[in-house]
Structure formats: C-alpha cells, structure tokens
A = this chain, B = another copy of it.
Amino acid sequence: MRNFKITLEYDGASFCGWQSQGQGERTVQDELEGVFLKIFKKPVKAVASGRTDSGVHARGQVVSFKASTRMKALEIKRALNGHLPPDIAVHEALEVEEGFHAQYSVKEKTYRYTILNRPWRSAFLRDRALFYPYPLNMSRMRKAAGYLIGRHDFKTFQAHDPERSERRTVRTIKNIVIKRDGELIHVDMTADGFLYKMVRNIAGTLLAVGSGHLAPKEMPGILKARDRKKARDTAPAHGLCLMRVQY
C-alpha cells in the first residue's frame, strides 16, 4: 500500500459538506471515493484534514488515502481531475511517507470568513460571501479579535452537537487578520485546531462588534464565560472557506 496526499478545492454551494451522510445527500467525500473506485477498482477511504459543513468552501482542503497502485502521483491527479465533477478540483497529489495522516498530522489550519460590505447584493458572490450592507468598523473588529489570539479555552465559541462537540476545548489561535479588499472584508483565522462552528461563531461575534452592537472590551468576558449563549449568532456557512492546512 502506498500513501498519498492530495490538495483540493471545492465550491461548497451544492454539497452537504465533506462527510459522507449515507442518505443520498451529495458530499465531497462520496464524490471523491466514487472516483477512487473508478481509478483503483476497489474501495479506498478518503481522510480529510477535517469536515467542512454544508455550504462551506475549501481552497486548500487536504486529503490522505492509501492505495495499491502503480500510478504516479501526477497521473492520479490527472485521473481525479478528469473524473471529478466541475465543483471539485485537485491542485496537487503527492506520495507521502506511511505515517502521514490528513487529520492527525495537522499542525495548523487557516480559515477565511468573507463579508461583502456594500449597499447592494452580488449576483456573483451570492454563495461565497456574507452580504452585509451596513458600515463595519474594522479597528473595533481588530481590537476585539486581538483578545482571542493565543492559547485559550474556546468553549464559548463551540456549537453544541452530540457527535461533534469536544470536551477538550482549549485551542491556540495563532493569528486573526482582518483586511479590506475593495467591497470585501476578509477575516483570516489561523489556529492549531478549531472547535465545531468556532470560526463562524467568532465571525458572528466580530460582526456584532464591527456594527456597534457589542464593545470590543466585552470580548474577554465572553471568552472567559465558556458559555455559547454569551457569543453572538453563528455567521452563515456560505461565507466560510478552508484556505490552508499545514503539517
């Protein structure tokens, strides 16, 4: 058996997330494993760096899999791109050492939350950015985000789910960069790991700060409370994109 690592992008709009649902729901994992079956002529399991939820995009999702094949990594990449549907594309395929595991070997991940901040909605970004037509104060958002950087218990920002909530809720956020690019605002968060819906719950809380509904200095108390009810609404899935996974 050889071990492979692929980097791929997908437009999450038409997927019920990464993870196979076994219910006839369209998922990235099912599409990928369906093509593995075509190429390798036997079932091959795709392990992602982590699940992405329904509607969430990826520009740099990483997947590992084991297969007995004589194909070169580049040939696998070409075969995948030849068979995968148009809303999934493979950037890179590499053969890696046996011990590499797309989920367990993760060092850090970067997610981007994108906000379209202009007075009218966009036909082109409707599935790719949160439309927010009111003013947002970037320096307030940056100040609030600053309190989250470092090693903290992020239980406040974890959504409840019997399958996906974790008991160990301490994570280290390396960086949160908030920048404006014309009518878009990008919030880039890098951490050693994220809890369930953590990025979207932080993004929703930063929006409340940027719009003036919450003061930046309330952030430390919200964080310390370890109580989901203290944070603000979860920002919608379609503004979120998994940008990079580092190993």
Which of chain B's residues have a CB closer than 8 A to the CB of A59? 124
Chain A, 1-17, contact with B by CB distance < 8 Å: what is the 0/1 string?
00000000111000000
Q: Is A145 an interface residue (CB 8 A)?
A: no
Which of chain B's residues have a CB closer than 8 A to the CB of A120? 77, 81, 89-91
Which of chain B's residues have a CB closer than 8 A to the CB of A91? 120
Task: Give residues of chain A (114-129) contacting chain B, Cβ–Cβ below 8 Å.
Answer: 120-124, 126, 128
User: Across the interface, do B11 and A89 meet the contact criterion of CB distance under 8 Å?
Assistant: no
Q: Is A86 an interface residue (CB 8 A)?
A: yes
- CA of A59 to CA of B59, assembled, Å: 24
Q: This chain: how many copies in the complex?
A: 2
User: Across the interface, do A124 and B86 meet the contact criterion of CB distance under 8 Å?
Assistant: no
Given A81-B121, A121-B81: A126 and B87 interface contact (C-beta under 8 Å):
yes
Which of chain B's residues have a CB closer than 8 A to the CB of A123? 9-11, 86-89
Q: A51: shortest Cβ distance to chain B, in Å? A: 18
- CA of A87 to CA of B91, assembled, Å: 28
Give the B-binding residues of A (Cβ under 8 A): 9-11, 57, 59, 77, 81, 86-91, 120-124, 126, 128
Instruction: Give me 18 other A-B pairs in contact (C-beta within 8 A), A81-B120, A89-B123 excluded.
Output: A9-B122, A9-B123, A10-B123, A11-B123, A11-B124, A59-B124, A77-B120, A81-B121, A86-B121, A86-B126, A87-B123, A87-B126, A89-B120, A89-B121, A89-B122, A90-B120, A91-B120, A124-B128
User: What 6 A-B pairs have minimum CB-CB distances, sorted nearest first?
Assistant: A86-B126, A89-B123, A11-B123, A9-B123, A89-B121, A87-B123
